[in-house]
Structure 1
Amino acid sequence: MTQLIESLSEISGRYNALFVDLWGCVHNGVTAYPDAVAALQQYRTQTGGKVILVTNSPRPRAQVAEQLVQFSVPADAYDDIASSGDSARAAMFEGVVGNKVWHIGTPTEAPFFEPLKLLDNPAPIERVTLEAAEGIVCTGPEDPTADPSVYRPQFLLAKQKGLKLLCANPDIVVDRGDHREWCAGALAQLYTEMGGESLYFGKPHPPIYDLARRRLRKIADVADDSILCIGDGIHTDIQGGIGEGLDTLFITGGLAAEEFGSDPAKPDKARLDTWLSDQRLSPTAAISFLR
């Protein structure tokens, strides 16, 4: 049975490291949640615990760090970052979808294609038209407010060509402030439903957890049973953590807040238990907001 808690400090003493989701947990895509920042700072300073931010952002680690400054998330709230973007970039430069790729995304996501120094012999990647492509790289829809179905004509051609789609962000939707936006995961889901093959490198899939563990090992030797995964995505953060054999803390006031009553700060325990049963997932604990 999932334990409903009021603050991270109730259980944080059991863990030497946290894998923490960003969007919907530490910030809302516009600004930081002060209580979440304070909770992470307290965890690091009072217990000496390590915090790895594990995000499905398609951005490289350095670009995520720059964005956190813009959102007023201070550097002393975390130790390192593992992004879906870095995990997917490594796969792209290993040539998993070919050398000539059709990119679906915005101009701000261009750093995804910058050379990756971690690999000894990265594959040369060239962005081309769909007609000339050997594969697809999706960092997100060009218009995050448009229904993903607008890509059906292009995906039909891509499927006929047998192209694989590399998804740099498995999230289906995120809330940017008060507005919900589509993510790369929605496009990858559509492509799969149409019969295409999509490759995932963020939560809940293993590659990003391997990256997070490697980032953690650089600063501390922490066993899996001392790691807690925190996030508001039941089928990304929580399913991924459970799949890795890690304990999980579900943020109820995020993407699924409406499922647990009219007040996001006070989730109804009975409704939470019923909903989690329907999802066939059982987080170690749940909390309204990270604090």
Structure 2
Amino acid sequence: MPQRIQSLKDITVHYDVILCDVWGVLHNGVAPFPGAGKALAQARADGATVVLITNSPRPNDSVAVQLDGIGVPRDAWDRIVTSGDVTRGLIRQGPPNVYFLGPDRDLGLLDGTEAFAVKEKDASAIVCTGFFDDETETPEDYRDLLTHFADRNIPMICANPDLIVERGERLIPCAGAMAAFYEQLGGESRIAGKPHHPIYTEALRQATELRGTVDRTRVVAVGDGMPTDVRGAINEGLDLLYISAGIHARDYMTGETTDERALDDFLASHQAEPRWWMPRLV
């Protein structure tokens, strides 16, 4: 069973590289979680390299600005690798005429890819970063649009594999939910972010660039999302620190209290065996 720890400092002696999730671990989309940034900054001071690994569809420099605005300190990380970064490779491999499904603020994802946004009838691929309005919409609102695309065998490139994220006290759907719905309608999706291999390859490449050779047995992944952070760490054979008070907290927490038997049952039901766990990163 996973071991409950009180502080990230309890385990940093075992690791040279920390691959840390962002949304749900460092912040909730509105404000930083107290102590999370300080915990990573202390790990860096103790000699660890911290690579933030996020399913944000935005490029890493845009995420850095977003973290500044939310209040996550810059000394909490060495590098940022985003799903948007690795998704650009998928976009370059596809046709340039794409239907862009997501808010206008994410259009920068196409920069440098030679892809350009077109109307539905002219598209040979979909690039999905999320919903036009994730505060009110669900995938069902896009049934007609996506059915037409699926009937034409148009592939969807999903820039954010997350199904949901916390925004304050609410759970908000993400592009991963759209991709899953598209597959239900018979469409094809292509994904490079967590839990898929390309984003981990890039994160470890950047850690190696900073440190030299990286021993994978001395790499720990930190995250709260079962289908993304947890499954990705398992697929990559990495140790995992599970942040239990994230998006799955309703399955085993009442207020701030964790029912540890319910937590163990939850993890077992997902065939997940993190080495460590704690409610919030501190």
What is the aligned-residue RMSD (CA, Å)?
A: 1.1
Pairing 1:143–2:133 present: yes
| Identical columns (%) | 38
1:222 positional shift? 1.6
Q: Is the 8 A contact 2:245 2:253 kept in 1?
A: no
Aligned to 2:215: 223
Pairing 1:280–2:271 present: yes
CA displacement, residues 124-169 of structure 1 (integer Å, 9 cap, x when unaligned) = 3121111111010001111113111111101111011111000000
CA displacement, residues 235-266 of structure 1 (integer Å, 9 cap, x when unaligned) = 110110110010001100010112223133x4
- The amino acid that maps onto 2:133 is D
Unaligned runs of 5+ in 2: none
Alignment of 1:1-291 (within 5 A): 1-45=1-45, 47-95=46-94, 98-115=95-112, 124-145=114-135, 146-220=137-211, 221-264=213-256, 266-291=257-282
Task: Give TM-score, length-normalised by structure 2.
Answer: 0.97
Give the count of matched residue pairs. Answer: 280
CA displacement, residues 16-73 of structure 1 (integer Å, 9 cap, x when unaligned) = 010000001001111212310111111111x210000000000001100110100111
- The amino acid that maps onto 1:172 is L
Q: Is the 8 A contact 2:129 2:158 kept in 1?
A: yes
- The amino acid that maps onto 1:21 is D
- The amino acid that maps onto 2:24 is G
- The amino acid that maps onto 2:40 is L
CA displacement, residues 173-204 of structure 1 (integer Å, 9 cap, x when unaligned) = 11111222110000000001111101111100
1:94 positional shift? 2.7
> Quick check: 26-35 or 55-64, which moved more?
26-35
Q: Is the 8 A contact 1:81 1:215 kept in 2?
A: no
Distance in 1 separating the partners of 2:198 and 2:26: 22
Task: Give TM-score, length-normalised by structure 1.
Answer: 0.94
Q: Is the 8 A contact 1:4 1:269 kept in 2?
A: no
Q: Is the 8 A contact 2:158 2:191 kept in 1?
A: yes
Q: Is the 8 A contact 1:52 1:216 kept in 2?
A: yes
